Amino acid sequence: MGQNITRKILGAHLVEGQMTPGSEISIRIDQTLTQDATGTMAYLAFENFGLKKVKTELSVSYVDHNTLQDGFENADDHEYLKTVAQKFGIYFSRPGNGICHQVHSERFAVPGKTLLGSDSHTPSSGALGMIAIGAGGMSVALAMAGQPFPLVMPQVINVRLTGSLMPGAAAKDVILELLRRMTVKGGVGKVIEYSGPGVLTLGIPERRTITNMGAELGLTTSLFPSDRITYEFMKNQGRENDWVELQADEDVAYDEQIELNLSEIEPLIAKPHLPDQVVKVRDLKDTSVQQVFIGSCTNSSYKDLAKAAFILNGKSVHPDVSLSIAPGSRQVFEMIARDGILQKLISSGARILESCCGPCIGAGQSPPSGGVSLRTSNRNFVGRSGTKDAQVFLASPEVAAASALTGRITDPRDLSGLDMAGLHQIQETNQVIVDDRMILAPPETGEHIEVRRGPNIKPMPLGKELTQEIKGEVLLKTGDHITTDDIMPAGTAILSLRSNIPAISEYVFSKMDRGFAQRAKEKNGGLIVAGENYGQGSSREHAALGPLYLGIKAVLAKSFARIHHDNLINYGILPLRFKNNTDYDRILPGDVLRIADVRQQVEKGSFLVENVTQGVTFEAIATLSERQKELILDGGQLNFIKKRTKA
C-alpha cells in the first residue's frame, strides 16, 4: 500500500509514536514562525531555556498584527522582537513587510518540511506541500529549543478536485463550499490532502487561500502536492533550488474521500457570525453594504488585487461604501504599483492600507454600528471587526469588488458590462520583485546583542504546581462555540498590552461579561463552564494566560478546540470535559465546584466533581497524554522545563 503526502512528511519527521490515527506522535520541526501578537510571549518563554540560539533550520519573527504605533506599547514590542530575534538567530520581518503567511509562502516555505507557527493560519504554507501547523507561542518556543512537537496523528481526508473554476468563481468559493459541507467542526483531528486533475488549475496563491481557511474547518492542517506549479512559483521567487516534488503514491488509501468538481462551484458567501454559514451570493443580492475590505492572509495576493482592480477599473466606489484594501506583502504592493493595478484601485476611491492584518484583527477600519461589512478575510466572529453589532460577511475579492461598486452584495456575474472572460484570464505575474531588505537576517552570533525591554514588556506569569484540591465558584457559564476572541478580545487597545499580562487580563471575557476580571480577583480565581468547541478560532494564548493570571484553575466544557486545549495545558489550567453533557445543564453560575485528590485523578484521566452548592456529584474526563499529565501536575510548561533543567 502506497503512502499519502501527509504520512510521507510526518514519517520523515517522526521522533516518537505510531502513525495510527488517534495516537499521540511527536515530530521534528524544521521551521517556526511567530507574529507580534503571540511572538512576544513565545520569545519571553524561549529566553527561560537558557539557549544561545534557536535549534530549528529556520525561524522567522513577523510584525503584522498590531503595526499601528499610537502609543509606546507597540513600538516597545517591536524593539523587543527585533533585538531578541538578532540575539537568538531568528529572521525578523519588519512592520510593513507583510502578513506572516503571505510572506512565509513567498520567501521561506519549502515542500516536504515541517513548520510550526504561533498563528492559527500557519497551515497556509501547506499550499507548497509543507506540514504547517498552528500552535500556541509556548509550543513554538519549545520547537525553537529543539523539542519535538507532540500531536495526535490525524486522519487524512482526500479532497479530489476535478474540472476547473468557471468565470466569477474563485479559490475562496472552494473553501467556502467545503465549510458549507463540513462545518467549522468537521475537520477536527484531520488533515485534508488535495489531489486530482483540478489541482493543476490552481496557482499557489489560490491554493494558499484554500489551505489558509482549512483552519476554519478545525483541521490540524491541509496541503497540496508539490508539482510543476509549485516549481514555477518558487522559481519566480528565486528559490527553485529548495523545490522538491511531492506526490501521493498511486495506490494510496485515505481515511475519507471527498469529490469536488471545481466547474460546479459558484460564488459563495459566509453570513454572520461563523465562516460555515455559507449560501450563494445571489441569495443575498438585496443586502446593503457599508464597508468592504479586500486583504488579509486569505485573499491579498497579486492576482486577488488584479482581479479587484479589473472590476473597479474606470468606475467609482458606491457613495455609501468605504472600500479599504491591504496588499498581503510588500512584494505584492510593489508589483501592483509597478503594473498600474494600484492606480486603478486608488482611482476607484479605494483606501489603501499598509501590508498588514489591519481590519482583519480589528486594528482600524471598524464598520459603523450595526453596519454590514463584506470582507475577504477568514473569520466573521461577533466583535472581531472592532464593532460589536456589525454584520460581517466573507467572500472572494471578485464579490467584494463588485459589491463595493453597487453598495449591495453582488455576484460579479450580475454586474452589468463586466467582461467576465477578461476577468477570468487574469493570472499571477511571473515577473516577481524579490527584495528582502525588510527581512533582517540574524548575525552569526548574537552574544553581543542586548535585548531591549521597554516598560510594556513584563515577565510571563507562571502556573502553580497542582494542589490536591480544586475548589472554586463557577465564575461564568458560556454556550457553544466560544472563540478565543470572546475570551480575550482583539482590537488595538487590547492587543497593545499583549506583553503585559497584568494589564491585558483585565479584558478577559470583557465582551460578554464586563465584571469577570473583577469577580475572578475577588473570588481568588475559580472555574469556567462551557459548551461545545470552547476556544475555537485564533491561536491567541492570551486566552489562557489572562485566565491563568486571574486564578482560573480549570475549564469544564462539552468539548475544546485543539489549540486552545493545548494552550490551557501549557499554562497549567486543567481542561475537563463532561462525561455526560446533561450535567452541563444542571450547573448554575455561582455554584461552588470541588474536585478532591486531583493529582491522582489527573493520572487516571477521570474525575469526580462535587457540586457543593447543589449537593450532587458528577463525572468529568480529561484527554491528556502522559506528557500532558506531567505538565498539568507541574503547573505548566515553563515549570516543567525549569524543574527538569534543575534536576
Task: Spell out the residues 6+ positions from residue 267 whose beta carbon is closer than 8 angstroms to its own.
Answer: 168, 169, 170, 173, 280, 281, 282, 395, 396, 398, 399, 411, 412, 413
Q: How far apart are CA 612 and CA 552, in angstroms?
A: 18
Q: Is 99 in the site for ligand F3S (CB under 6 A)?
A: yes
Residues 326-345 that bind ligand F3S (CB under 6 A): none
Q: Which runs of consecutive H residues, i.e. helices, occur in 89-170?
A: 100-107, 137-144
Which of these ranges, 80-88, 97-105, 303-311, 427-435, lies near ligand F3S under the rule CB under 6 A?
Answer: 97-105
| Smallest gap from residue 102 Cβ to ligand F3S (A) | 9
| Least separation in angstroms between CB 181 and ligand F3S | 22
| Least distance from ligand F3S to the Cβ atom of residue 50, Å | 31
CA distance 496 to 67: 10
By beta-carbon proximity to ligand F3S, the closer residue of 377 and 403 is: 377
Residue choice 86, 118, 377, 492 for contact with ligand F3S (CB under 6 A): 377
Question: 158 or 222: whose CB is closer to ligand F3S?
Answer: 222
Least distance CB 279 / ligand F3S (angstroms): 22
- 121 lies in the site for ligand F3S, by CB under 6 A: yes
CA–CA gap between residue 547 and residue 525 (Å, rounded): 9
CB of 101 to ligand F3S, least distance (A): 6
Select 365 or 378, whichever has its Cβ closest to ligand F3S.
378
Nearer to ligand F3S, 215 or 587 (CB): 215
Cβ closest to ligand F3S, residue 144 vs residue 360: 360
Q: Which is nearer to ligand F3S, 4 or 212 (CB)?
A: 212
User: With b meaning 16 or more CB within 10 Å and e meaning fewer, what string describes 2-19?
Assistant: ebbbbbbbbeebbeebee
Compare residues 114 and 378 and give the one whose CB is closer to ligand F3S.
Answer: 378
Burial of 477 (0-12, 13-18, 19+ CB in 10 A): middle
Listed ranges 99-107, 139-147, 368-376, 433-441: which one lies at the site for ligand F3S (CB under 6 A): 99-107
* Contact range with ligand F3S by CB under 6 A, out of 232-240, 354-362, 415-423, 500-508: 354-362
Q: Which is nearer to ligand F3S, 121 or 498 (CB)?
A: 121
Residue 297 lies near ligand F3S (rule: CB under 6 A):
yes
- 629, three cell numbers: 499529565
Binding to ligand F3S by CB under 6 A, coded x per residue (else -) over 396-425, reads: ------------------------------
Confirm or reject binding of residue 65 to ligand F3S (CB under 6 A): yes
Dihedral angle of Cα 177, 180, 185, 191, to the nearest 10 degrees: -20
* d(C-alpha 620, C-alpha 506), whole Å: 29
With CB under 6 A as the contact rule, the residue among 25, 199, 360, 404 that binds ligand F3S is 360
Q: Which is nearer to ligand F3S, 118 or 403 (CB)?
A: 118
Q: Least distance to ligand F3S from the beta carbon of 423, Å?
A: 25
Which residue, 503, 510, 543, is CA-closest to 120?
Answer: 543
Distance of CA 347 to the CA centre of its chain: 33
Closest contact distance (angstroms) between CB of 393 and ligand F3S is 16
Instruction: Return the range that interacts with ligand F3S (CB under 6 A); candidates 356-364, 392-400, 401-409, 561-569.
Output: 356-364
Region binding ligand F3S by CB under 6 A among candidate stretches 302-310, 355-363, 509-517, 559-567: 355-363
Instruction: Give whichever of 102 and 195 is closer to ligand F3S, judged by the CB atom.
Output: 102
C-alpha grid cell, residue 468: 490536591
Interaxial angle between packed helices 330-338 and 341-348, expressed in degrees from 0 to 180 and rounded to the nearest 10: 90
CA atoms of 149 and 362, how far apart (whole Å): 31
Number of residues that bind ligand F3S (CB under 6 A): 13
361 binds ligand F3S (CB under 6 A): yes
Within 8 A by CB and 6+ apart from 545, the residues are: 41, 460, 461, 501, 504, 505, 571
**DSSP, res 202:** S
- Residue placing its CB nearer to ligand F3S in the complex, 140 or 357: 357
Report d(CA 9, CA 610) in Å as an integer: 46
Cα 427 to Cα 296: distance, rounded to the nearest angstrom: 19
Stretch that binds ligand F3S, among 21-29, 67-75, 93-101, 309-317 (CB under 6 A): 93-101
Q: List CB contacts of 368: < 8 A, sequence separation 6 or more.
A: 290, 291, 387, 390
For residues 61 and 73, give the distance between their C-alpha atoms in angstroms, rounded to a whole number: 18
**Closest separation in Å from C-beta 93 to ligand F3S:** 12
**Which grid coordinates belong to 96?**
510593513
| Comparison of 136 and 636: residue with beta carbon closer to ligand F3S | 136
Taking CB under 6 A as the rule, does residue 378 contact ligand F3S? yes
Q: Put residue 400 in one of left, alpha, beta given phi > 0 → left and psi -120 to 50 → alpha.
A: alpha
181: part of which helix (H) or strand (E)?
A: helix 171-182
How many other C-beta atoms can be found within 10 angstroms of the C-beta atom of residue 336? 25
Binding mask 420-449 for ligand F3S (x = CB under 6 A): ------------------------------
3-class DSSP state of 527: strand
C-beta closer to ligand F3S: residue 119 or 583 = 119
- Helix count (H) and strand count (E) of the chain? 23, 27
Interface with ligand F3S includes 119 (CB under 6 A)?
Answer: yes
- Least distance (Å) between residue 35 CB and ligand F3S: 6
Establish if 473 lies at the interface with ligand F3S (CB under 6 A): no
Q: Which is nearer to ligand F3S, 10 or 100 (CB)?
A: 100
Closer to ligand F3S by CB, 41 or 161: give it: 41
Q: Which residues of 251-287 are buried (b: 16+ CB within 10 A; e: fewer)?
A: ebebeeeeebebeebebbbbbebbbbbbeebeebeeb
Q: Are 533 and 489 in contact (CB under 8 A)?
A: no
Q: Which position among 9, 357, 392, 548 is part of the footprint of ligand F3S (CB under 6 A)?
A: 357
Q: Does 296 help bind ligand F3S (rule: CB under 6 A)?
A: yes
Grid coordinates representing 151 are 500531536
- C-alpha cell at position 176: 467556502
Contacting range for ligand F3S; rule: CB under 6 A; set: 77-85, 95-103, 229-237, 337-345: 95-103
Q: Does 488 bind ligand F3S (CB under 6 A)?
A: no
Smallest distance from ligand F3S to CB 38, Å = 10
Starting at the edge strand that comes first in sequence, how are the strands of the sheet with 256-261 ordered?
A: 221-223, 190-195, 155-162, 256-261
CB of 82 to ligand F3S, least distance (A): 19
What burial class does residue 560 get, using C-beta atoms within 10 Å of its C-beta: 0-12 exposed, 13-18 middle, 19+ buried?
buried
Q: Which is nearer to ligand F3S, 271 or 540 (CB)?
A: 540
The footprint of ligand F3S (CB under 6 A) covers 65, 99-101, 119, 121, 296-297, 357, 360-361, 377-378
